[in-house]
């Protein structure tokens, strides 16, 4: 069997560790388990998760890692992950694990530990959307993908926030064994849908509206409801800002320009229509404010790495996918 080691620290986000572990534990071929899962830490002993779950771990520094093994580095809150990034014993262990040929993976802020060990230099990587900016600033050699829910760069896998570790683990199972086994695990765990790595992990609009004090919130809410006629000038007017100030505020609070924000809003709405309706793409593009299908296709490729038709095939209910 393939061995999977889940590395945890005190304060580990419970689902970061247990989500992928349950996927690997459930994978079977011809009725036989495919993976052996162990929870470990540097030094071993009991570790307490963010939800208070007490986890008994083995000392991973004594493990003889080898090619074919998988190391899952689970994340934790900032107050726990920052000290861990400065733990020389932990960083040495991760470097040794990588040298052994083990497949290195991370969930959520676990990417910060891989980056601190130098394992993400020159690599494309994902982490929780809240940590993307910090990861980029602390480790400028890392190509941080702010959209993907998980990223594979060679045999290095990184996933975004919390539940995306499950999506990553399912993709690893499919890569190791086959799609039938991965689909069977997804069904067993009662997952609504298997999400591909390129699916965006968050909505800029929802982030903006999560802060009631954000003066952009009302304007963005209006834009979402009026995409056919919304433009940058109207968005600025609704926010009570000049277009130049709107540009500055969007960069400051959302990390994007007003033009790209509008495209994100349109893509967000188009994704919902593609998966729930059988509208032709030309009409759908007009309703979402793209103007034409060509512009919508370019926006989808830029935001999601896949065109509208392929997105519909991947995610839509049968009657919509046939359009």
Q: What is the mean pLDDT of residues 5-13?
A: 98
Q: Which of 19, 22, 21, 16 is nearest to 4 (CA)?
A: 21
The predicted pLDDT at position 149 comes to 86
What domains are there in the chain, each with its CATH number? 2-188 (3.40.50.880), 204-321 (1.10.10.60)
Q: How far is CA 51 from CA 47, 48, 67, 75, 300, in A?
A: 11, 8, 33, 13, 37
Please say if the pLDDT value at position 107 is more than 80. Answer: yes
The predicted pLDDT at position 213 comes to 43
The mean pLDDT value of the chain amounts to 89
Task: Supply angle C-alpha 268, 273, 277, rounded to 5.
Answer: 165
Please say if the pLDDT value at position 271 is more than 90. Answer: no
pLDDT in tens, 189-238: 988 555 655 556 555 545 555 454 467 878 888 898 899 999 999 999 99
Please say if the pLDDT value at position 293 is more than 80. Answer: yes
The predicted pLDDT at position 193 comes to 55
Q: Which of 158, 175, 168 is nearest to 109 (CA)?
A: 158
Helices (H), ranges, the chain: 14-26, 78-85, 88-99, 110-116, 132-138, 164-176, 179-188, 204-209, 216-225, 232-239, 243-254, 258-276, 281-287, 293-304, 308-315, 318-321
Place of tokens 């790495």: 305
The predicted pLDDT at position 210 comes to 46
More confident residue, 319 or 70: 70
Rg (CA), the chain: 21
Q: In sequence order, what are the beta bridge partners of 57? A: 45
Sign of CA dihedral 138, 142, 148, 150: negative
Task: Supply angle C-alpha 266, 267, 272, rounded to 5.
Answer: 100
The predicted pLDDT at position 224 comes to 86
Q: What is the mean pLDDT of residues 30-57?
A: 96
pLDDT in tens, 233-270: 999 999 999 999 999 988 887 778 999 989 988 998 89
The pTM (predicted TM-score) of the whole model is 0.70
More confident residue, 30 or 100: 100
Q: What is the mean pLDDT of residues 46-66?
A: 96
Q: In sequence order, what are the beta bridge partners of 276? A: none
Q: Is 213 exposed, middle or buried (0-12, 13-18, 19+ CB in 10 A)?
A: exposed
The predicted pLDDT at position 30 comes to 84
């Amino acid at each position: 069997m393939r061995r999977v080691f889940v590395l945890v620290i005190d304060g580990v986000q419970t689902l970061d560790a247990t989500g992928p572990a349950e996927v690997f534990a459930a994978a079977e071929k011809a009725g036989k388990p495919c993976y052996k899962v162990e929870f470990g830490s540097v030094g071993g002993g009991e570790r307490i998760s963010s939800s208070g779950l007490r986890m008994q771990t083995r000392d991973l520094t004594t493990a003889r890692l080898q090619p074919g093994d998988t190391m899952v580095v689970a994340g934790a809150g900032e107050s726990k992950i920052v000290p861990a990034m400065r733990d020389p014993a932990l960083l040495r262990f991760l470097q040794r694990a990588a040298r052994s040929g083990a497949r290195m993976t991370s969930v959520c802020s676990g990417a910060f530990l891989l980056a601190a060990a130098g394992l993400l230099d020159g690599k494309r990587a994902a982490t929780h959307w809240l940590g993307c900016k910090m990861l980029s600033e602390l480790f400028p050699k890392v190509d941080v993908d702010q959209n993907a829910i998980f990223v594979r760069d060679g045999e290095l896998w990184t996933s975004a926030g919390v539940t995306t570790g499950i999506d990553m683990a399912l993709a690893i199972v499919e890569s190791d064994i086959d799609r039938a086994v991965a689909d069977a695990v997804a069904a067993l765990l009662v997952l609504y849908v298997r999400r591909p790595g390129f699916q965006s992990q968050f909505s800029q609009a929802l982030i903006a509206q999560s802060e009631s004090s954000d003066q952009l919130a009302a304007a963005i809410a209006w834009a979402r409801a009026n995409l056919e006629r919304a433009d940058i000038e109207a968005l600025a007017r609704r926010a009570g800002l000049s277009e130049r100030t709107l540009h500055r505020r969007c960069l400051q609070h959302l990390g994007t320009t007003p033009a790209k924000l509008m495209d994100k809003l349109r893509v967000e709405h188009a994704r919902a229509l593609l998966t729930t309706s059988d509208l032709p793409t030309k009409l759908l593009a007009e309703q979402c404010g793209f103007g034409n299908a060509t512009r919508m296709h370019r926006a989808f490729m830029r935001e999601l790495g896949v065109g509208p038709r392929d997105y519909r095939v991947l995610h839509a209910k049968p009657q919509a996918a046939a359009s």
